[in-house]
Amino acid sequence: MKRMMIAGNWKMHLNVHEGSVLVKRLNDHIIPHHSVEVVLAPSLVSLQPISQELDHRKFRLAAQNAFYKDEGAYTGEVSFTMLRDLVHYVIVGHSERRIYFNETLETVRDKVQAAVRNELTPILCVGETKQERAANETRRVVHDQVTTALANLTAEEVENMVIAYEPIWAISTFGGEISKPDDIQKVLELIRSCIGELYGDQAAKQVRLLYGGSINADTAAGYLALPDCDGALVGGKSLNYHQFSDIVEKAYHLQSSQRRTRGQDRKTEEN
């Protein structure tokens, strides 16, 4: 059974002290579960101090962004190479970066490649705007984002990565419309089948697909239970330790009940 992932994107919130306060609370509140991987993506300046305070049996760290060159005269940037010993994951292609920092399909592709080259796992974000959705272009947009970003990767590299479907209209900072889980399942299914066509069944089956868009403790289970959903990317609510711990618990309960069902199915087949 695949490990579910619950990742918290703190965005440009919390200074080093505030981040440390939240980490202490999360260290106390979150119970380690083998079936659920919990990832925190604080701001860049907080990564190092948080790495020292974090209970590494419970959490892994992600960076929110990095530049695709390994080193050079790129004032103000931080490379994937520099993050290698600090984080497991790097969020790539978040809609806020595509929109506010003009990241193109090709920039996102270069960042995915830089992550893989530096043995970091990208959490690739894809998703359509409200206008694209209204024009029935969701499938085309998501297909283009996925295929461009994964170009030149091997099936094994794709199999190990994480892709978050985050429709822009559902993200809290862009309006936060509540999506219907059935609609989300259709797009997750499309992403999985697109990977299957390009990289084969094993990659399609193993790649972890997350959903993100205004998830909270009340709505989380509806998305996490979707057949093609392997976790969640949580923005706003990851800053609230009650909400975030509750979302992690929801994931854990779902994983446990799915395990039990599979165990019972196996027993029925054996009898």
- Interacting residues toward ligand PEP by CB under 6 A: 9, 166, 171-172, 176, 212-215, 233-236
CA of 127: how far to CAs of 9, 58, 165, 204, 213, in Å? Answer: 16, 29, 6, 18, 10
Q: Say which of 94, 103, 157, 159 is annotated catalytic.
A: 94
Q: Which residue, 58 or 98, has its beta carbon nearer to ligand PEP?
A: 98
Nearer to ligand PEP, 166 or 204 (CB): 166
Sign of CA dihedral 38, 179, 188, 228: positive
> At 142, which helix (H) or strand (E)?
helix 138-150
b/e for 24-56, b at 16 or more Cβ within 10 A? eebeeebeebeebbbbbbbbbebbeebbeebee
Nearest distance from residue 235's CB to ligand PEP, in Å? 2
Give the nearer residue to ligand PEP in terms of CB position, either 95 or 204: 95
Minimum distance from CB of 264 to ligand PEP (Å)?
34
Q: How far is the CB of 171 from ligand PEP (least distance, A)?
A: 4
Nearer to ligand PEP, 23 or 233 (CB): 233
Measured from the CB atom, the residue of 122 and 235 that comes closer to ligand PEP is 235
Measured from the CB of residue 7, what is the shortest distance to ligand PEP in angstroms?
Answer: 8
- Residue 10 CB, nearest approach to ligand PEP (Å): 10
Return phi, psi of residue 169, to 5°: -65, -15
75: number of Cβ within 10 Å: 4
Please give the full DSSP string across 15-72, using - where no structure is assigned.
-HHHHHHHHHHHHHHPPPBTTEEEEEE--HHHHHHHHHHS-TTTEEEEES--BSSSSS
What six digits make up the tokens of 202? Answer: 């094993």
Candidates 37, 128, 159, 166; catalytic one: 166
State how far the Cα of 215 lies from the Cα of 231, in Å rounded to an integer: 11
3-state secondary structure of 244: helix
Closer CB to ligand PEP, 175 or 263, in the complex: 175
Distance CA 258, CA 165 (A): 22
Residues in the chain: 271
Specify whether 13 is catalytic: no
Question: By the 8 A CB rule, do 39 and 8 touch?
Answer: yes
Shortest distance in whole angstroms from residue 65 CB to ligand PEP: 12
**Residue 166 bears catalytic tag:** yes
Q: Report the catalytic residues.
A: 94, 166
